[in-house]
Structure 1
């Protein structure tokens, strides 16, 4: 906190806004910090270092995702010749991958590079072509 001569204060993250300000590329984070002397005042600017434990997440390549009617889908391999289109809930893309929130389990094989072609074929069959 610059106003407190860059004092280092440990605290706990209480809230992280879900929206990033596109102009400043910042996000509002609220911390619970000890303030028994009342030196920290509302509106003071602080630079924070947030430490966290890494978490393992199931990721899918963005190229495997079909976006249709505001929903995300992947093609899951059922056997040697069959793929089934399955709805999934995914997090935002990062470095070409999207984290799986629900709808897909570890160990399920999905179409990666051929997802677009599988979807085109599915649509062709649905239209009777």
Structure 2
């Protein structure tokens, strides 16, 4: 990259083949953050090039995939009274050390969610 990237700009770190948002720049290094995460790394300014539209799209898809794996991609469904009762019974079984009953409650929750929700 001939010019120093600006804070907030998306760039491609050619050393790591990763897209990063510029957080801070200096003559010796650029501080990058993966879009949508808190992960930060340092890169050399000469190893950076402007992100293309394809790079930005790849980054957004990766971020959406990461969110879906963490369950953050969809809002939590409101719990019904039966859900709360099953959850409470499972918790009680776990506290009592009854793994068999706890596993039964987990199965009951799965059946309930498929049937009622």
- State TM-score, norm by structure 1: 0.27
Q: Which has the higher helix share?
A: 2
Give the TM-score normalised by the residue count of structure 2.
Answer: 0.29
Higher relative contact order (CA 8 A, sep 6+): 1
